[in-house]
Structure formats: structure tokens, C-alpha cells
Structure 1
Amino acid sequence: MKGMSSSEEDGHLVVKEEDIDDLGDDMDLWESHNRRSAFSPYRPVTVLTNLQRGNIQTQTAQAEPDDYTLHNRAAMGELSADDLRDIDVNELDSNGFTPIMWASYYGQLPTVRLLIQNRAKVNMEGQDGETSLLLAASNGHHEIIKLLISYGADPNHVDHMGNTALMYAAHNDHSHCGNELLDHGADITYTNVAGSSAFSIAVARGSKQVQLIMERHLLKLLEPS
């Protein structure tokens, strides 16, 4: 599969051109690709992926908890208040991501809440304009979306290709995310650099549930006040 560019047909999230033919479940994306596609981003290193799945071979040396970075532990939901003392909770990793971005993408609600309580910034951006909200929407974590917005996350933030969290939700038919975003001010009229809106993305992708939610939202807007 090739990463789509801004010249692709309407109805898609726009991504940078990159060859992603070989992106298998066990590939280390950080080593192989410097930039990530807009709608299939942000996997951890292979060791973390395998640990989460329980796929580590018995003959493989097990890493001790202290061997994991703050960011990896956030993705695994294994941070405690003690871990966050006297550290910068907004520290960037080598890919420009903060711990709360990792936790948001992997659906670690208690960890996201803990990081916010310890002054994590909800609107920090990654190298391509990614925020915690976009990452949560891309993977269907509506409760994290609700939490982030309640602490000031911008529901209409756009990444480097003009994609909003609502577009991410539409692309993957995450209806609860779409509903949460629309209830908290997401603008359905935004278009990305290819001219695609969240609605056109939903139609093109066959995201029926998100499409239905947006249709209902539009009908409400047309109702007399």
C-alpha cells in the first residue's frame, strides 16, 4: 500500500507520500520511517508492541520496568504519581511525541488523567501537527476525547495536511468519537488540503455510523431555534 498524497481523489485523509508496503505488525516504524501517514500512525518500537501482545519468546531476555522510557510506559498505562515527580511530563521523545500523546493513542484513560493532573499540556503538537486529541480519535478512544476537551483540547485543531480529529474518526468509523467531537464544537465544514471534509471521507470510506451521526448533526443545525 502506498501513502496517499494531496493529489489523491477526494474522500481521504491526506498523507505524505511514502512507501508503506512493508509495514507489518512487528516492524519498527521509528527506525524505518521518519514521517508517518496521517491515519495509520504512531506505533511503538517492536519490543513494546510484542510485550503488549504477550508475544515475547521465552528465550528472549525480559526487560525490567526501569528499562522502559517514560513514553513507552505511558503507552502501556504503567505510570504512577511517583514516576512523575521532579520530571518534565511534557518531554518530547525522539519522534516529537509527549507521554500524553502515547497514552491517548493507546487508550490509557487513567494515565491520560494522571498526566493532566501533573501539568501535561493537551494541545502540544508532534512533528506533523499531531495532538493527543487527533491520536485518540484515530484509534477510537472517545472517553479520552471527552477528557482532553474538558481540559482545553482544541476540537478543530488540524495536522500538517489539514486533517481534524473528526476526519480521523470518520476515516475509521469511530462513531462514539465523532459524536463526542460534534457535541463539543467540532466543525463539520472543515476541509483538508485535498478538499475532503469529514463527511466526504466517511462516505468514501463506507463509515456508515459516523456518516449517520453527521447527518443527524446537520439536521439539528437546520432546525429552527
Structure 2
Amino acid sequence: MEPTTPADHLPTQQSPEQGHPEVPGDEADDGSDTVVLSLFPCTPEPGNPEADASASSLQGSSLKHSTTLTNRQRGNEVSALPATLDSLSVHQLAAQGELSQLKEHLRKGDNLVNKPDERGFTPLIWASAFGEIETVRFLLEWGADPHILAKERESALSLASMGGYTDIVALLLDCDVDINIFDWNGGTPLLYAVRGNHVKCVEALLARGADLTTEADSGYTPMDLAVALGYRKVQQVIENHILKLFQSSLRPDDPE
């Protein structure tokens, strides 16, 4: 029986359906791709650790962002019209950072600011997952609860860490959220940041006290993941942090 590779047991978040759903008009006639939203922002592929986090996290549903060069500019026929802002839910508006429309929705009341969708994602979780920092800041000021967990214990902090959005991570940590929250997908914010090769995010989480000893369901610690995936910069950050902790423990107590 062949041993499994370390990457087979790394913490990732995936949608329940494998592959991409069939969406009319997903591919243009010239083979150009489109960027698509998903409920579960995906981590960068191990073979491309430097990929932009915000681009790699957008896959899987019928709500689409336009490409830099649109089909109309290419001269192609548009086979499906994009959704108008008026038809989007408060969660979709938060994910896309449409602040003006989002404010209009929230003024309707009914505690929409913390309303979960079918998977338990609140507008704040969506905005955090897609790196919309101004939307995150606005939602927090409006009264969004950063402690709310989705149905599989996903948190705004975990998804922001997965995407490598360090500024959002800092905002959420300032709200005293649980930095070591463990979700049912088998990961903590630090594990997800390491898994995505997000060096600055790893540094920020460690500086705020993230636990280096917490293991994924597979038994991998953050250091194990960094070594297994060959992420040398992340490994160096963790090693430097461990060294600082060791040096701090050796310092004599201040004389009274």
C-alpha cells in the first residue's frame, strides 16, 4: 500500500459538488475565461503558491464578474446578461463590495447585517472571504457580529486568513475574535494562512498569539504544512517566531 502524500491531508475548503457547475455562457467563443464567485473561496493550488489570493478564491456560482477585456470589447456576442445590482442579495453585495447598494439593503431592517444565508454565511463572512476591506469595516461599524460561525464553523477570520487578507485579519482580531477557532473542515486561521502561503498573514497571526501547536485533522501542525509544501518563507517566519518565544522564556525576571 503506497503512502499518501502530505498534500492529500491538508486543510482546504471545497464546495460540496466537485468540479465547476455548468453555467450558461461561462465560456466565450474565443476560449476566454470568466471569474466566478463561490460559497467557499478556494485556496491557491500547491503548484502555484504565489497566485493572487483574491483571484484564486473566486470560483463556482452563477454570479460573475466581468473580465478585464469584456466579450463586447472583443466583438463576441454576449450569451448571458450579468445580474443587475438590484437583483443581488445582501450577501452577494457584501462579497462584491457594492457599498451603496449594501447600505440600502441594510436600511430595510430585519437585522440583515447578521442574516445568514443557506450555509450560515453572514455578509461579514462573505466580505472577509473576498477581501473587501472597506465593506468589512463598514459592516463592523454597522454592528455586524464577527464572532458568528457558519454551519461548518467557518469564521470571517478563517476565510480572511485563507485569502491572505492581512488587513482584514487585523480588523477582526481587534474585535477579540477567537484566533484559534477550529472549523469542521479541519483547520484554524493560522493553518489556512500557511496552506495559502500567505507570509504576511502568518506573521500577523503569530504576532497576535496564534497557537503553533494546533494540528489539522490530518495531524499536521502549521510548521509541518510549511515544510511539506515547501513554503520556505513561511517556514522561516515560524522558525523566527519559535526562536523569539524561546529567547523570551530564557530571560531572567526583572529585579524588583
> Per the shorter chain, which TM-score range?
0.7 to 0.9
Compute the TM-score of the two structures, normalised by the length of structure 2.
0.72
Residue equivalent to 1:69: 89
* Alpha carbons of structure 1 residues 182 and 23: separation in structure 2 relative to 1, 3 Å: same
Tell me, in whole angstroms, the C-alpha distance in 1 between the residues paired with 2:226 and 2:190: 10
Paired letter, 1:204: A
- CA-to-aligned-CA distance 1:176-203 (integer Å, 9 cap, x gap): 1101101111011111222111110111
Is 1:192 paired with 2:216? yes
Tell me, in whole angstroms, the C-alpha distance in 1 between the residues paired with 2:151 and 2:4: 23
Tell me, in whole angstroms, the C-alpha distance in 2 between the residues paired with 1:218 and 1:16: 28
Tell me, in whole angstroms, the C-alpha distance in 2 between the residues paired with 1:141 and 1:60: 32
| Residue 172 (structure 1) shift | 1.1
Is 1:217 paired with 2:241? yes
Of 131, 156, 170, the match for 1:107:
131
Is 1:159 paired with 2:174? no
**Counterpart contact for 2:63–2:82, Cα < 8 Å:** no
* Alpha carbons of structure 1 residues 54 and 96: separation in structure 2 relative to 1, 3 Å: farther
Between stretches 18-27 and 109-118, larger displacement belongs to: 18-27
| Residue 8 (structure 1) shift | 5.8
Count residues in correspondence: 214
The residue correspondences of 1:118-197 to structure 2 (distance < 5 A) are: 118-197=142-221
Q: Percent identity?
A: 31
Ranked by relative contact order (alpha carbons within 8 Å, sequence separation 6 or more), the top structure is 1
Tell me, in whole angstroms, the C-alpha distance in 2 between the residues paired with 1:83 and 1:19: 29
Tell me, in whole angstroms, the C-alpha distance in 1 between the residues paired with 2:15 and 2:126: 23
Is 1:13 paired with 2:33? no
Paired letter, 1:105: A
Give structure 1 stretches of 5+ with no counterpart: 1-6, 31-35
Paired letter, 1:22: G
* Alpha carbons of structure 1 residues 169 and 50: separation in structure 2 relative to 1, 3 Å: same
Compute the TM-score of the two structures, normalised by the length of structure 1.
0.81
- RMSD, aligned α-carbons: 3.1
Paired letter, 1:69: S
Is 1:22 paired with 2:19? yes
**Counterpart contact for 1:28–1:45, Cα < 8 Å:** yes
**Counterpart contact for 2:35–2:59, Cα < 8 Å:** no
- CA-to-aligned-CA distance 1:23-47 (integer Å, 9 cap, x gap): 48777866xxxxx698579756634
Paired letter, 1:139: G
**Counterpart contact for 1:15–1:37, Cα < 8 Å:** no
**Counterpart contact for 1:74–1:111, Cα < 8 Å:** yes
| Residue 84 (structure 1) shift | 2.1
Give structure 2 stretches of 5+ with no counterpart: 22-33, 45-55, 72-76, 252-256
Tell me, in whole angstroms, the C-alpha distance in 2 between the residues paired with 1:37 and 1:119: 24
Q: Does the residue aligned with 2:137 lie in a helix, a strand or coil?
A: helix
**Counterpart contact for 1:26–1:46, Cα < 8 Å:** no
Of 33, 46, 49, the match for 2:64:
49
Between stretches 215-224 and 153-162, larger displacement belongs to: 153-162
